Structure 1
Amino acid sequence: MSRMITTAEKYGFSGRGGVDWSTYAAYRPVYPPSFFQRIYAYHSAKPQAAWSQAHDVGSGAGIVAAGLAGRFDRVVMSDPNDGYAALGHKILVDELGIPAAKLVFLQEGAEKSSIASDSVDLVTACKMLHWTDTVLAVDEFHRQLKVGGTVVITYYSRPRIVGNAAAQQAWRDIFGAFAEKIGAMGALYDRGLRIVNSGLESVELPEAKWRGVKRIYINTGGSVEPFALDDRTAESKVGEGDEKIWEEDDKDWMDVKGIDWFKPYFATWTPQIPDAEIQCLWDKLEVALSGQNVRVETPVVLIFGTKA
């Protein structure tokens, strides 16, 4: 991880500005082996499963793509942000030693790709779909996939503080201030909040195009409420045939943290809010924590589907 951070400091989080990638890599959750195991278990359960080409959409610096490269012959990394292709190449090829011949870097959005139709075995869209027109993006994933290919759409929200109600309320209020700020920035942000608040239940995989749709919810307490940053809502598009699975106490998405962790973690969410604007909320959190570490649980949702 430290080598990834070194490179990221040169390129930043995005060529257009934003969060510094070194902070993001240091404080955001790491995708654990079980994350990839769930993907591979779903994909390999199909008799026609192939491992020729995967496409990681909204790949960023290639965190998920690096994992996929260990199983697929070829991995396409795409992202609309400038700077990521160079950063991804530097990390995956120069530092992690993944052969360049296995990777393709594209600067393009999720709704329209240059990838050929019926050419991809697996499409992953991890923590990025809320920035898209989800109908267009899901249709585009369908176009790229071979019949029987797998789509995986995932999202994780801010962690919950467990066992300290006062600290959790202060933490929720901090993200409420964040949601209020970005929600006022225009339709793109309002739509994004509604999508994530729904735990991706506003994302539809139409039964006419997809089969074997499965939605796995991790560390959510049996509801999508932990994903909500404010009270914005979106219509559920969960299909009647979608299988919903609730998994609790997944230690791969749990940790113990203290006050020194919460501020830099919050700084990985953009646009950033200056501490001074919400200092009263940080003070409440610090008082509630009383110098103690607390358990945090990250809520996660994974949506799987197979192209019909």
Structure 2
Amino acid sequence: MTTRARSFDAAAASYAAHRPGYPPALLDAVEELAGRPLAGARVADVGAGTGIATALLHERGAEVLAVEPGDGMAAQLRRAHPGIPVVRGDGDRLPLATGAFDLLTYAQAWHWTDPARSVPEVRRVLRPGGALCIWWNDADLTVPWIAGQEARLAEFFGAAEGSGFRTLPRGLGGFTTRSVSWSRRIPLDAHLANLASHSAFLMLGEAGTREYVAAERERLAPLFPDGTVEERYVAGLHVTRV
């Protein structure tokens, strides 16, 4: 898992350029379910990557600290957001003071942790009444072309590829869940670059990824004659107070 997680370092620039962000409604839901505004909250964004979620939290007025283990991802974050502090570490070994944070956020990141280690770290770092906020962007499978693409990916990489990917931790009380549907319109090439920035393709290698992406372009181009793709997502948010 560590090797796969660190595969993003070599593709940090592409990751930052092509990965989707998160809609304002998701951050509204974070505030509602956490029971406090983001403005003025001490937040550690763990597994921050290139800072996609970190920057949005910062824009909401949070006193946000990014926690990122990867060299390439942390460097990209610092270049793009020089005003946001970054510390090196991961969810299993948080380099953070005990009881120092109001919120811990894991955007597309909880699945890289070992819950036997990350859950005690959550309890240690959060202040009493603080909240753990976990979310993922998932492809909206109600859209036929997206469902078809996801089926091809599952067939290519194997059914075990995503097993356990969305498992929430035990031992922290119950989670409240909120789903936010949203979309973005981007060029077809940007959509394919987003696809290629996922860890499965980074582990596959350049030749295999290039071949797969070329075939996918041939399938999708007739569906989007103007060259613009509407990616639709369901952002799933899970919050528990500890």
Tell me the TM-score range normalised by the shorter chain. Answer: 0.7 to 0.9
Which residue of 191, 195, 202 corresponds with 2:164?
A: 195
Which residue identity lines up with residue 30 of structure 1 in the other structure? G
Q: 1:86 pairs with 69, 75, 94, which one?
A: 75
TM-score (norm 1): 0.63
Distance 1:278 1:126, change over 3 A: closer
* Equivalent in 268, 276, 285 of residue 197 of structure 2: 268
Alignment-derived partner of residue 138 in structure 2: 157
The structure with more helix, counted as a fraction of residues: 2
Is the aligned partner of 1:217 residue 2:206? no
Residue in 2 that maps onto 1:226: none
By how many angstroms is 1:128 displaced? Answer: 0.9
Alignment partner, residue 111 of structure 1: 92
Q: How many Å apart are 1:301 and its aligned residue?
A: 0.9
Secondary structure of 1:80's partner? coil
Query: Structure 2 unaligned runs (5+)?
Result: 1-5, 202-207
1:28–1:17 distance in 2 versus 1, CA, 3 Å: closer
1:258–1:178 CA distance, 2 compared to 1 (3 A): farther
Change (3 A) 1:281 1:54: closer
TM-fit CA distance, 1:157: 2.4
Shift of 1:146: 0.8
Deviation of residue 216 (structure 1)? 1.4
**C-alpha distance after superposition, 1:138-196 (max 9, x if no partner):** 3311211011001100111245472xx4x345412442255339x5xxxxxx5xx2233
Counterparts of 2:190 and 2:59, CA distance in 1: 31
Alignment partner, residue 19 of structure 1: 11
Q: Does 1:176 align with 2:154?
A: yes
Give the direction of change, closer, same or farther, for the CA distance of 1:296–1:76 in structure 2 (3 Å limit): closer
Alignment of 1:1-308 (within 5 A): 17-21=9-13, 23-45=14-36, 51-71=40-60, 74-93=63-82, 98=83, 103-160=84-141, 162=143, 165=144, 167-168=145-146, 170-177=148-155, 179-180=157-158, 193-196=162-165, 200=166, 202-206=167-171, 209-210=172-173, 213-218=175-180, 250=181, 253-256=182-185, 259-272=188-201, 273-277=208-212, 280=215, 282-287=217-222, 289=223, 291=225, 295-307=230-242
Structure 1 residues 280 and 135, CA, compared in 2 at 3 Å: closer, same or farther?
same
Give, as a single letter, the amino acid of the residue that structure 1 aligns with 2:184. Answer: D
Decide whether aligned partners of structure 1 residues 117 and 60 sit closer, same or farther in structure 2, where only a CA change above 3 A counts: same
Q: Which whole-Å CA distance do the structure 2 matches of 1:85 and 1:262 have between them?
A: 24
Identity of aligned residues (%): 21
| 1:248-307 CA-partner distances (Å, limit 9, x unpaired) | xx3xx21345644432221121342423257555433445x1626564321221100101
> 1:214, CA displacement in angstroms?
0.4
Q: Which has the higher contact order (CA 8 A, sep 6+)?
A: 2
User: Residues of 2 paired with 1:126 and 1:111: CA distance?
Assistant: 15
Which protein has the larger Cα radius of gyration, Structure 1 or Structure 2?
1
Q: Deviations over 1:67-123 (max 9, x none)?
A: 323455632211111134333233222xxxx3xxxx542211111112122111110
The two structures have a TM-score, normalised by structure 2, of 0.78
In structure 2, the CA distance between the partners of 1:51 and 1:169, relative to structure 1 (3 Å rule), is: closer
Amino acid at match of 1:136: R
Deviations 1:10-64 (A, max 9, x none): xxxx79743242x323332222222222212223459xx9945211100112222
* Contact kept in structure 1, 2:196 and 2:213, CA below 8 Å: no
Give the unaligned 5+ runs of structure 1: 1-13, 184-189, 219-249
Distance in 2, matches of 1:180 and 1:302, equals: 26
Q: How many residues align?
A: 230
Residue type at the aligned position of 1:203:
L
Across the aligned residues of Structure 1 and Structure 2, the Cα RMSD in angstroms comes to 3.2
